[in-house]
Amino acid sequence: MIIPKSINSIFFSLFLAAFAGPTFAQYLDTSVVNKAQSAMIGRVRDAVETYAAKIKAEKSLVTYCRQELSLKTSLYPVNGQIPFGINYNQIRDTETLETIIWNRESYETWFLKLCLANCRIPDDCINSNRYPLFMARAVLRELIESL
């Protein structure tokens, strides 16, 4: 049986609408996503710096906590889970972007604040495998200052 071309195009259109429709949706412009991420990173930085100043934490401790956050979040698989498993290039609407950014901002801000609060004395937070690195830095810093 030969199906007229117009019926084929109708079936094809129905197929696309039913099964492939969401894949053709427009993604948000990368400049919008990058702007939202930059603003979020700035807000996290400001909140953490304010908290660090309040508790009189050293800048090196803030850097340490940021590294811990980076190590922890790098372990998340890119599986679509909010906030760290998201491929930001595949976000389709601003409402979803705002939800993801809000979740990520909350997580990062509180992770860093808790890290700072728990690590008032840096030696308490250093992983035993990383202790020689910090000792070497301290020794070299003192050596350079004495020259």
Q: Cα(112)–Cα(104) distance, rounded to whole angstroms?
A: 12
For residue 44, give its domain range: 25-121
* 143 domain-assigned: no
pTM over cut 0.85: no
* 74 domain-assigned: yes
The string of DSSP letters for 101-112 reads: HHHHHHHHHHHH
Q: Cα(1)–Cα(117) distance, rounded to whole angstroms?
A: 75
Q: Residues 94-133: pLDDT tens digits?
A: 998 999 899 999 999 999 999 988 876 655 666 666 667 7
Total domains in the chain come to: 1
DSSP letter assigned to residue 75: T
* 95 domain-assigned: yes
* 137 domain-assigned: no
Q: In which element (H, E) is residue 74 found?
A: helix 59-74
Q: Cα(69)–Cα(71) distance, rounded to whole angstroms?
A: 5
* 20 domain-assigned: no
Q: How far is CA 84 from the centre of its chain?
A: 5
